[in-house]
Amino acid sequence: MSFSVTEPNKGTKWFAGVLVVGYALITIAPLLWIIATGFKSPADSIAYPPKVVFEPSLEGYVNLFTERTRATPDMLEAQGEPKNWYEQIARDQGTVISGPSRYGERFLNSVIIGFGSTALCMILGTAAAYAFSRFRVPLKDDLLFFILSTRMMPPIAVAIPIFLMFRNLGLNDTHLGMILLYTGVNLSLSVWLLKGFIDEIPIEYEEAALIDGYTRFQAFYKVVLPQAATGIASTAIFCLIFAWNEYAFAVLLTSGTAQTAPPFIPTIIGVGGKDWPAVAAGATIFLVPVMVFTILLRKHLLRGITFGAVRK
């Protein structure tokens, strides 16, 4: 009978498969619950025992995107026939749509601040990591430790000084302020992660490019960056996820123009706190950009580290 130490046998494979599927189900269940809740009626969403099978409704999504006013049956009558399907849904609840909600703006703020800080973080992080990796920087180890130490406490611990600083600088409730804040918080992570990736790229490639007639910056741009793509992609995902999901600073520092979606979504719940489907709908849509971003960069994540054409 043949025997291999590298190839797992059938039983092991099954066991591993069951384990992975089980884990996936556990992690994905809350997500499925949120998505499902978005399509429930408010009554179904708080029903006990919880309803797994329910009649789907777009009420949550209509409530998410619109402002409505309560109207008496007489007033509804006076409005005439509803002009479209979502007006119909509003009428069924005994309300009239008075205009769009602020969810769109808040979502756009999240996009600007999340992606803006991620981009800034990648530019600064890659440059700093390259310098730490390749150049003789005075006090390099101390500087790296100092950079890491900025993450040794939860960022919210310095909320009050930051709040005061922002007020004095006029950065309260501005996109720029939030981008700078999230960049500052994420930069230490990105410098450390990217330095690791750049350290793995043999210096010989740059030396070859220097000899081939390129300047150091061109060598960095044409040779180092493409090979650091994997590291940059995974670091960017980490940075985006933090900036995208951040709640505490967003509550504290934004209230209007620059408010992001996380502090806005809970306010949708409305008077009486029963509009869970609208909250769930807001959360569901909020999940999409990070998911798309991660899927787009998946290729780089999976490609892994290039086995170089350098003889070791």
Partner 1 sequence: MAEVSLSGVTKRFGADVALDNVTMTIPDGSFVVLLGPTGAGKTTTLRMVSGLDVPDAGHIMIDGRDMTGLTPAQRDVAMVFQQYSLYPHMTVRENLEFPLKSPILKTPQDQIRRKVDEIADILQIRHKLDNKATELSGGEMQRVSIGRALVRKPSVYLMDEPLSSLDAKLRADLRVELKSIQADSGATLLYVTHDQIEAMTMATHVGVLDHGRLVQFGSPREIYEDPVSIYAASRLGQPRINVLPADVFAGAPSGAVNIGLRPEQIIQGEGEDSFVQRVEHLGDQTRLHLTFKSHDLITVTDAHTELKNGDIVKIRPSKPFYFGADGARVA
Q: Which window, 21-29, 232-240, 291-299, 303-311, contacts partner 1 (CB under 8 A)?
A: 303-311
- With binding defined as CB under 8 A, does residue 301 bind partner 1? no
Interaction residues for partner 1, span 224-263 (CB under 8 A) = 226-227
- With binding defined as CB under 8 A, does residue 50 bind partner 1? no
Q: Which window, 83-91, 147-155, 216-224, 261-269, contacts partner 1 (CB under 8 A)?
A: 216-224
Q: CA 246, CA 251: separation in Å to the nearest integer? A: 9
Q: CA 221, CA 29: separation in Å to the nearest integer? A: 43
Q: Which window, 64-72, 175-183, 199-207, 253-261, contacts partner 1 (CB under 8 A)?
A: 199-207
Q: Is the dihedral of CA 27, 236, 145, 130 positive or negative?
A: positive
Smallest gap from Cβ 309 to partner 1, in A, equals: 4
Phi and psi (nearest 5°) for 29? -60, -50
Are 130 and 199 in contact, with CB atoms under 8 Å apart? Answer: no
* Cα distances (angstroms) measured from residue 303 to each of 38, 222, 227, 231, 232: 36, 19, 11, 11, 13
- With binding defined as CB under 8 A, does residue 212 bind partner 1? yes
Q: Which window, 69-77, 221-229, 259-267, 275-283, contacts partner 1 (CB under 8 A)?
A: 221-229
Smallest gap from Cβ 224 to partner 1, in A, equals: 10
Site string for partner 1, 2-21 (x = CB under 8 A): --------------------
> Which residues, at least 6 apart from 209, have a Cβ–Cβ distance to it below 8 Å?
218, 219, 222, 223
Smallest gap from Cβ 234 to partner 1, in A, equals: 17
Are 67 and 96 in contact, with CB atoms under 8 Å apart? Answer: no
My answer on whether omega of the bond before 49 falls inside 30° of 0, hence cis, is: yes
Q: CA 83, CA 50: separation in Å to the nearest integer? A: 34
Q: Which window, 39-47, 151-159, 203-211, 272-280, contacts partner 1 (CB under 8 A)?
A: 203-211
Residue 18's Cβ-count burial label (10 Å; 0-12, 13-18, 19+) is: exposed
Are 179 and 255 in contact, with CB atoms under 8 Å apart? Answer: no
* Binding residues for partner 1, total number by CB under 8 A: 24
- With binding defined as CB under 8 A, does residue 170 bind partner 1? no
Q: Which CB sits closer to partner 1, 211 or 295?
A: 211
Q: Which window, 53-61, 122-130, 173-181, 219-227, contacts partner 1 (CB under 8 A)?
A: 219-227
Q: Which CB sits closer to partner 1, 274 or 303?
A: 303
Closest-CA residue to 110 (of 217, 300, 294, 254)? 254
Q: Which CB sits closer to partner 1, 175 or 222?
A: 222
Q: Tokens 């069951």 identify what position?
A: 18
- With binding defined as CB under 8 A, does residue 302 bind partner 1? no
Phi and psi (nearest 5°) for 181? -65, -50
Tokens linked to 21: 């599927």
Smallest gap from Cβ 230 to partner 1, in A, equals: 11
Q: Which CB sits closer to partner 1, 22 or 226?
A: 226
- With binding defined as CB under 8 A, does residue 294 bind partner 1? no
- The binding site for partner 1 (CB under 8 A) comprises 202, 204-205, 207-216, 218, 223, 226-227, 306-312
